[in-house]
Each structure stands twice: as structure tokens, then as C-alpha cells.
Amino acid sequence: MFGNKNEIQLNSLSLGTTFKYKSNTWEIIEISDYDWGVDGKSVEYKIRSKNNSEAYLEVERYQGDYEIYFSESIEIPQETLKDGMATKIMIYDGQEYEQEEHYRGSSKNQTLGTSWEKTEVFMFYASDDALLTIEKTKDDTLAVYYGVEIKEKALKNIKSTK
């Protein structure tokens, strides 16, 4: 900010970069790019904590600010996910989530060197802003993630390997 050359660009972190979030240290172990067409671009970091928990940090630059989501993979039966996508309502852990966003685009895992693949995302929000994201890949596989939007300042002690 204000010409600080040391400002870290959260949407262009590298493999091995570490940071603290909620008293855990996380390391970036994979990087995937998402292209949402007219809806912009985002980057998703697969991260691992010191105790080997895995999670995801999605970062999008929007109108000069970052939108950042911290998510963890969860298990919900495929039929429940399909019903939720049809009705635009999901119940998870006793809380109701309503679909507010739906995006189609492409994703590419930079770390594994995959080709661009079609991706579709359904985003369901609860009244407390918790988020369920259903990701549908080209072979109709459904994966679901539970997450929250976080502020840039929640990420502390960011150390790049470069």
C-alpha cells in the first residue's frame, strides 16, 4: 500500500509460502487458477497445517480489494447435494443455507500441471455468513466445502519461499 514494494500480493503467492491463521501455521502445497469469464479470476491454495490438516484458501481480487475464503472439505451425501442444487436450499449441521451465487468457468491446477477443465460452483450462505460451496467438475463429480469469508488482516506472518 502507498508504494510499499514489500506489500504481499495474496493472489500470487508461491508454493511453500507459510502464514498464520487462527493460531495455526499453514503452508501452501498446491495452487489452482480459476477463470470465471466475465465474473473474474481467482486463485485457490491448497494448504496444510503443521498437524497435517488440509484446507483451502481462495483469493479473488475484486475492485481493488481481496475476497478471501477459508474452507475445509466436508462429507455430505451426493443425493443431498443434488437436492440442494435443485431446491437452492441446503441444511448442514442444523443450519439452513440458501444458494446465492452460481458460477461456470474453468480451473487448472498449476502444481500438477493439469489442463484447463470446466468447473461449476454453487455457493450457499447461512444467516451468519458461513458458506457451503459445491464444486461440480466436468465428469459431474460433486465436492463440497464448508467455509467462511475472512479479512486480509486475519492472515499473519506471511513468509514466501521466493
* Average pLDDT value for residue range 10-18: 94
The per-residue pLDDT for range 25-73, each reduced to its tens digit, is 999 999 999 999 988 899 999 999 999 999 999 999 888 889 999 999 9
Average pLDDT, the chain: 92
CA distance 97 to 137: 22
- The enclosing H or E element of 10 equals none
The per-residue pLDDT for range 135-153, each reduced to its tens digit, is 998 788 899 999 999 999 9
Burial of 160 (0-12, 13-18, 19+ CB in 10 A): middle
CA distance 38 to 65: 17
